[in-house]
Copies of this chain bind each other. A is one copy, B any other.
Amino acid sequence: MTLVLSPEDAKAFIEKPFAFVERIGLRALVMEPRRVKLGLPLAGNANHIGSIYAGALFTVAELPGGALFLTSFDVERFYPVLKAMNIRFRRPALTDVTVEASLPEAEAARIAAEADANGKAEFILKTEIRDADDQVVAETEGVYQLRKTGA
């Protein structure tokens, strides 16, 4: 049996998976197979100088890995793990921000096949966090693993 979540279910799972994420007011703007876009408000996430705090920017850039998992893979057979993340801060985030991430279809197929055969498969997601003027405020490179349940 294959269980790939509906876009509505995936949206609910990514916006309120647990308290830490629920508190930051994350919005799942696009939740399509192999393509997601998330939004994060400045309100509630500002630091002492009025820009979005680094830890909130990290979070909105990390979550697309989980969001892509929810829309692209069999959530009963696999689960995702974050292994490492590199984030570079380019300019202060003075507005709400968004981040997009996608997986080419061939790459998603490679990941699922490899995790199925070996119990796990590594993949890299690069993102840009952009402000309301479409300026890049931060860039990330995340190393994720898709793991087979029970492997």
A residues with CB within 8 A of B: 17-21, 23-24, 44-48, 53-56, 58-59, 62, 81-89
Question: In the docked arrangement, what's the CA distance between A34 and B145, Å?
Answer: 37
Q: A20-B24, A23-B23, A24-B20 are in contact. Are A85 and B54 (CB under 8 A)?
A: yes
Q: A85-B87, A86-B86, A89-B84 are in contact. Are A46 and B58 (CB under 8 A)?
A: no
The count of identical subunits is: 2
Residues of B close to A89: CB separation below 8 A: 81-84
Q: Is there contact, CB below 8 Å, between A48 and B18?
A: yes
Question: In the docked arrangement, what's the CA distance between A53 and B21, Å?
Answer: 9
Q: Is there contact, CB below 8 Å, between A55 and B62?
A: yes
Residues of B close to A81: CB separation below 8 A: 89
Q: Is there contact, CB below 8 Å, between B55 and A59?
A: yes
Chain A contact surface mostly: mixed
Q: A62-B54, A82-B89 are in contact. Are A20 and B48 (CB under 8 A)?
A: no
A38 → chain B, closest Cβ, in Å?
13
Q: A18-B46, A18-B48, A44-B19 are in contact. Are A82 and B54 (CB under 8 A)?
A: yes
Residues of B close to A45: CB separation below 8 A: 19-20
Q: List 8 A-B contacts (CB under 8 A).
A: A18-B47, A20-B24, A20-B45, A20-B53, A23-B23, A54-B58, A54-B85, A58-B58
From A21, A44, A46, A87, name the one whose CB has the most chain B CB atoms within 10 angstroms.
A87
